[in-house]
Amino acid sequence: MKEYQTITEISGPLVFVETDEPIGYDEIVEIETGDGTTRRGQVLDTTSDHVAIQVFEGTTGIDRNSSVTFLGETMKMPVTEDLLGRVLDGSGNPIDGGPDIVPEERRDIVGEAINPYSREYPEEFIQTGVSAIDGMNTLVRGQKLPIFSASGLPHNDLALQVARQATVPEEEEEGDGDDESSEFAVIFGAMGITAEEANEFMDDFERTGALERSVVFMNLADDPAVERTVTPRLALTTAEYLAFEHGYHTLVILTDMTNYCEALREIGAAREEVPGRRGYPGYMYTDLAQIYERAGRIKGQEGSITQMPILTMPSEDITHPIPDLTGYITEGQILIDSGLNSQGVEPPVNVSPSLSRLMDDGIGEGLTRGDHGGVSDQLFYAYAEGKDKRDLVNIVGREALSERDNRFLDFAERFEDEFVDQGFNTNRTIEDTLEIGWELLSMLPKDELNRVDEEYIEEYYQEDAAAEVAAD
C-alpha cells in the first residue's frame, strides 16, 4: 500500500493526486480526512505522476491535507449463495439489518468477457407471466431485452411483476404430469431511484416473498452519483457467481440505466473530457456494452444470465443516445406507451414497436410447450390492421367500414382490453396467454388466418366465439 498527502485538485466527485510512480487503473483508494473519516474511491485515470480518483461517498470534507492510500487491488464483490434474500447498498454493503456477509470468495466486479466460442446460443423460454411479453416478445435465457419507458410511466410496476413471476419451466418428463422449475434467482439493481420508489420495491419484495430468491442492490437518488457506476457491475458479478458456480438461472433487472448514463456524463464533465452526443461521453457505447454483454450462457454450464435493463427515454425520444446505443447492443426492446397508460391499460406495453430478436428461437414445440404455429405473427398482423382502421374511422366514420374492417377494429379493442391489459398482479402461464390469443383470433374469419398453420386452426379455432361475433 502507498500513502500520499499530495492532493492537487478537487473537482466535483474527483480528486487529483500527484504521485511519484505509476498507479494501477481501477485500483481502490482510501482517503482519510482531517476529522478521521475514511472515504473509498477508485482510480479513474492514471499517468506517470498524477492520478484521478472518483470518490464513492462524495468529496465533501476532503482537502489538500487529506491522506490518500492506494490499496494495490481493484474493487471486488464478496459473493456467496447466502446473498439470496439480502438487501445491499449501491456499493455492496448490507443495509437490511442482517449479519455481515461471510463470502465464499471475492470477485473482481469488472468480470471476464465470455469467449464467443464458449457461448451457448439463447433459445430456452423464460415465462414472465405477462402476455405482452410471453406471447408477443418472448424472453429467452441468456438474452438481454431492455424496457424502454419514460418518466411517470409504470415501468417499475412491470419490473416488479416480472421479478416476482419469472420462472424457467422445464419440459414435463414422460409419464409425469407435474411441471418442475429450475433454481431461479433475481438480481435487482436500482440506480438513482427515490426513497419512495425504494420503499415500494422493498414492500413488494417482502409482501410477495420474492425477496427470498433475490439479491437487491439499492443506490438512491441522494447517494453519490459515482456509486451508480459500480452498482450494475456488483449486481452482474453476483449473477455470474450464482449462475456459473451454483447453476442458477438468473434474471438481472437494472433500473434506471438513464441515471447510470447521467452519472457517466457528470464524471466526464468533471474530467473536462470532450463530450459526445448531447454531452454524453464518447465512450458510452463501450461502457454500456461492458454491462450488457455480460448476459449469456456458457457451453457445459447449467446456469444462465438474462438481463432486463430499464431506461427512461428523455421526452419519450427513442432516438436519444441512451436508448439508441442500448438498441444497438441488446436484442430488442419492450416499449411502455403513454397513450395506453392514459387508457388505464396495465401493463401499458405497446407490442407494435416492441421486439424480441431471439423470440423465434425460444418458441415452438418443445420450447414454450404451446406455441400454436404462428399465433404471435397472426396477432401482430390483426392488431396492426385494427389500428389502421381506427385512423380510417376518424375520417369516414364507423358506418362506412365494411364488415371485415369492423371485425379488425373490434379485434384491436379487445386485444388491448383482454390480452395486453391483464393487471400488474395477474400471472398467466403461456398456455393461458395462447388460449386468450386463440379466443381473439376466433373473432376473425378462418380465411384471414393466413399466418397460422392449418392444423392448429382446425384444432384451436373456436367456432362458438366466431358465431357469436357474426351474430353481433
Say if residue 53 is in the same domain as residue 118. Answer: no
Cβ atoms 319, 327 nearer than 8 A: no
Domain assignment of residue 251, yes or no: yes
Q: For residue 30, what is its C-alpha cell?
A: 482510501
Q: Indicate if 446 and 467 belong to the same structural domain.
A: yes
10 Å CB burial of residue 444 (0-12, 13-18, 19+) is buried
For residues 335-358, average pLDDT: 94
Among 325, 340, 362, where does a domain finish? 362
Q: Sorting pLDDT into bands at 50, 70 and 90, what band is 182?
A: low
Q: What are the pLDDT digits (tens) for 241-256?
A: 999 999 999 999 999 8
What pLDDT, on the 0 to 100 scale, is given for residue 259?
Answer: 94
- 113 and 254 share one domain: yes
Q: Flag whether pLDDT at 179 surpasses 60.
A: no
Model confidence at 452, in pLDDT bands (50, 70, 90)?
A: confident
Average pLDDT over residues 156-170: 87
Residue 93, CA distances (Å) to 102, 146, 196, 215 in order: 12, 27, 20, 12
For residue 370, tell me if it sits in a domain: no
Q: Please report the pLDDT score of residue 261 as a whole number.
A: 95
Pick the last residue of a domain from 57, 74, 91: 74
Is residue 368 domain-resident? no
225 part of a folded domain: yes
* pLDDT of amino acid 370: 47
At residue 18, the pLDDT reads 93
Q: Report pLDDT digits (tens) over 98-142.
A: 999 999 999 999 887 788 899 999 888 899 999 999 999 999 999
Asked if 300 and 442 sit in the same domain, the reply is no
Counted domains in the chain: 3
Average pLDDT (314-330) is 93
| CATH number (domain holding residue 15) | 2.40.10.170
Predicted TM-score (pTM) of this structure: 0.88
Same domain for 143 and 223, yes or no, is yes
230 and 184 in one domain?
Answer: yes
Domain span at 183:
78-362
Residue 87: which CATH number? 3.40.50.12240
Q: Please check whether residue 234 is in contact with residue 110, taking contact to mean a CB–CB distance below 8 angstroms.
A: no
Average pLDDT over the chain reads 88
Q: Alpha-carbon distance 398 to 390, whole Å? A: 9
Evaluate if residue 94 carries a pLDDT over 50: yes
Give yes or no: residues 127 and 255 share one domain: yes
Distance of alpha carbon 370 from alpha carbon 84, whole angstroms: 32
215 lies in a domain? yes
Q: Are residues 92 and 223 in the same domain?
A: yes
Let me know if residue 298 belongs to a domain: yes
Is residue 35 one of the residues assigned to a domain?
Answer: yes
- b/e burial code for range 368-403 (CB count within 10 A of at least 16 → b): bbbbbbbbbebbbbbbebbeebeeeeeeeeeeebee
For residues 269 and 415, membership in a common domain is answered with no
Q: Are 386 and 409 in contact (CB under 8 A)?
A: yes
* pLDDT in the model for residue 56: 85
Q: What's residue 369's pLDDT?
A: 45
Percentage, residues of the chain above pLDDT 90: 54
24 and 164 part of one domain: no
Residue 204 belongs to some domain of the structure: yes
Domain boundary among 29, 46, 74: 74
pLDDT in tens, 2-11: 788 899 999 8
Residues 350 and 380 in one domain: no
Pick the more confident residue, 182 or 56: 56
User: β-strand 332-335 against 139-140: which pairing, if any?
Assistant: unpaired
Q: In this structure, are 134 and 239 located in the same domain?
A: yes
DSSP 167: B
Residue 371 — very low, low, confident or very high, per pLDDT cuts 50/70/90?
Answer: low
